[in-house]
Structure 1
Amino acid sequence: MKDFNDHIISDNRSVVDALTQINQLSGNLNLTLFVCDSQGKMLGTLTDGDFRRGFMKGLKLDDSIDSFMVKNFRHFTLNDINVAHIKELRAKQIKLVPLLDEDGRIIKVYDFTQRKTILPVDAVLMAGGRGERLRPLTDTTPKPMLLIGNKPIIEHNIDNLTTNGIDNFFVTVNYLADQIVNHLGNGEKKGIRIECVKETKPLGTIGSVSLIKNFNNDTVLIMNSDLFTNINFEDFYLDFVEKNAAMSIASVPYQISVPYAVLNQDNETVDSFEEKPTYTYHANAGIYLIKKELLDIIPISTHFNATDFIQALLNSGRKVIKYPIIGYWIDIGKHEDYNKAQEFAKHINSQS
């Protein structure tokens, strides 16, 4: 919630004042007041339901508002945002949850009508590629800025991640970088932080991450900016944490059908055969969760691919896992992929 001041009320205000303030929030679905003392410390919450229950118990209009408020209120503190706890709050349909500093003052308010969760990760969107296979569309427009529906591909991904409570973004750019930088700005309009990091030369599929030093969180999400997907980021993160992995690679099924009978043999002897089999493989979807300290493996300003990084982790005995995407995933690399994403977006919008 960008502006929560309308939801704050001083503890010395009257019941009538509080009811009036709640009534003024009537256009807002979240009719909750945060009661604070003169120092800004939060003391409790108030809703119209709290007043109704108070009056039924015999409280009067001239009683203090702290007689009505909930003192054991739900809140977060710095460095103590638990994603599993958020799932519980969501199940209980708790919509507004304040984040308090060490003195109990409100830093921000999370509105769970506007976001699904709060993931304690930083996001890096790789947006430096030339998009050669999408020419001539990419002759004058960088691939991440091609429109899907009414907004660029990269903005779909930023909005999706923001809905999942991520608010610290890095975008690595190179080809036609100014178009991306000028469109995204610093993220202030969306209530997030965006920093664009420019490559001076192509650094591969993950090398530009070496240019970023000011991560806020212990986990970093890295993804290609030209993907169109509804991956469940919350479940992706919880799976990563539960399995205590060094890296999780989102994956998609890729099937290969052989149009002939395949012979199975032991040495030179055929012992069975399969008629026109289909084999399913788990392909890299271009979305990763990585423990921040492991990013030091990436050499600075050197061409380095995600496959190089994965191999380095495996060589050092680190735990690398895969997370299968359940849902849609389109890698917009060719014209047919771009057209498919356009049609998919129309279908999604017609259902919303």
Structure 2
Amino acid sequence: MKNNIQNLIKNNTTIKQALKTLDSTAEKIILVVNENTDFLGTLTDGDIRRALLKDASLETSIEGIFNKSFIYLNEDEFTKEKAIEMCKENKIIGLPILNNKKIVSYYSYYNEHNISQKTKKNLSLPVVIMGGGKGTRMKPISDVFPKPLIPLNGKPMINHVIDYFTEYGIDNYFLTLNYKSNLMISYFDSLDKSYSINFAIEPFFMGTAGSIKLLEDKLPNEFIISNCDCIAKTNLSDIIHQHQEKKTLLTVVCSIQHHQIPYGKINYKNGGAITSIEEKPELSMPINTGVYIANKKVLDYIETDKVFHMTHLIEKLIENNLPVHCFFINEKEFIDFGQWKEYERALDLIK
């Protein structure tokens, strides 16, 4: 049982601050209290995601989105065995422990038993991994290795990507190639692997979306697309469920990132008169992780006579009034190892 409760926020907190709290705690849930520290309810990343998909912004208060119906255990009734039983029976990841409406501790079934928030379902969608780029952000080592084969904690980075998807029972992969493609094919041919992998070799550098068009005859109605140098470490089943529920053509997995500007921001009005200064303000924004769920219809909008990236595809779908949706994840769920600064961070996150 936890006595030092770090996943605690006030009910007038903004969504942006709630996301930062989720990023900073090992828990998958936030506990909400009022000014008098009375316990009011719980908030998860799923609650935040649903709010952002409606009309909420990062500055919206959590007051109207947190879950006010909750299961708890009174302090004088607490035993570890009872807490485990209640978590199992109600299929929840933890229990707030209360004393006269005040939260005194939190029992984390999620962390103590090292479980996933949801059981990982076996998925049948294939994965297209885009691995044909030159890896310019990883020079000089990418002058020797193609980026997908650059080692990360003892194995090539592309193996970490495939390992994540194989946790969901996925065993069908397509890899688009160009730069040093012979090394990539030789590597996978040498593996004793439990999955199938097919290659599509670009006749020229076609861009991240252009190369997918080469697989048009081999892909089913829905499939997953991923960069070779990142992982969106969230529940893949949730992403697919939202994609199908929204009946969208393309779902873009977006991570809410927080960046502090290292300078004072000047606000001014016409004529240059300064109205205020903000010292080292923080910007929060959703960024594209490079992971997508796609309907095969998107292939009709890919151009193959020039470099055509996923950004071009997204813009073209929007121009044609076709549905493209975000799936929001928090900052710590996005692991990028495609540039040196993030690579060093990934060494601590990827095992």
- Tell whether the structures are fold-level matches, with TM greater than 0.5: yes
User: Cα deviations across residues 291-339 of structure 1 (Å, max 9, x unaligned)?
Assistant: 1122121123531011110011101111111112234323223222222
> For 1:56-113, what per-residue CA distance to the aligned partner results, in whole angstroms no more than 9, with x for missing partners?
xxxxxxxxxxxxxxxxxxxxxxxxxxxxxxxxxxx7xxxxxxxxxxxxxxxxxxxxxx
Query: What is the CA–CA distance in structure 2 between the aligned matches of 1:234 and 1:291, rounded to whole Å?
Result: 16
Match of 2:236 in 1: 233
Normalised to the residue count of structure 1, the TM-score between the two structures is: 0.60
Q: Secondary structure at the match of 2:179?
A: coil
The partner residue of 1:287 within 288, 291, 294 is 291
2:226 equivalent to 1:223: yes
The share of aligned pairs that are identical, in percent, is: 28
The CA deviation at 1:133 is 2.7
The amino acid that maps onto 2:149 is M
Counterpart in 2 of 1:333?
338
* 1:132 has 2:139 as partner: no
CA contact (8 A) 1:220 1:289 kept: yes
Q: Work out whether 1:174 is the aligned partner of 2:185.
A: no
What is the Cα deviation at residue 195 of structure 1? 0.2
SS at match of 1:190: coil
- Counterpart amino acid of 2:125? V
The match for 2:106 is none
Query: Which of 118, 128, 132 is 2:122 aligned to?
Result: 118
Output the amino acid matched with 1:330.
I
Assess, with a 3 A threshold, how the Cα gap between structure 1 residues 338 and 235 changes in structure 2: closer, same or farther.
Answer: same
Q: Would the aligned equivalents of 2:206 and 2:304 in 1 still touch at CA under 8 Å?
A: no
Distance 1:140 1:248 in 2: 34
1:1-352 mapped onto 2 (5 Å cutoff):
116-185=120-189, 189-254=192-257, 255-257=259-261, 259-263=263-267, 265=269, 273=276, 275-276=278-279, 277-300=281-304, 302-326=306-330, 327-345=332-350, 349=351
Measure how far apart 1:258 and its partner are. 6.2
Identify if the C-alpha distance between structure 1 residues 258 and 135 changes in structure 2 by more than 3 Å, giving closer, same or farther.
Answer: closer
Amino acid at match of 1:198: I
Q: Based on CA coordinates, which of the two structures has the bigger radius of gyration?
A: 1
SS of alignment partner, residue 141 of structure 2: coil
CA contact (8 A) 1:121 1:218 kept: no
Contact persistence 1:208–1:301 (CA under 8 A): no
Change (3 A) 1:214 1:117: farther
Distance 2:324 2:268 in 1: 31
Change in CA separation of 1:272 and 1:289 when aligned onto 2, cut-off 3 Å:
farther
Change (3 A) 1:246 1:284: same
Work out the CA distance in 1 between the residues paired with 2:324 and 2:190.
33
Return the offset for 1:253.
Answer: 2.4
**Partner Cα separation in structure 1 for residue 204 and residue 304 of structure 2:** 12
Q: Structure 1: how far apart are the matches of 2:219 and 2:300?
A: 15
CA distance 1:247–1:264, change in 2 (3 Å): farther
Change beyond 3 A, Cα 1:216–1:135: closer
- Aligned-partner residue type, residue 286 of structure 2: H
Q: Cα offset for 1:204?
A: 1.2
Cα shift at 1:238? 1.2
Root mean square deviation, CA, Å = 2.7
Judging changes above 3 Å, is the alpha-carbon distance between structure 1 residues 218 and 272 closer, same or farther for their aligned structure 2 residues?
Answer: farther
One-letter amino acid matched to 2:202: E
Secondary structure at the residue paired with 1:263? strand
**Alignment check: 8 A CA contact 1:231 1:325 kept:** yes
Structure 1 residues 186 and 294: CA distance shift in structure 2, 3 A:
farther
3-state SS in 1 of match to 2:128? strand
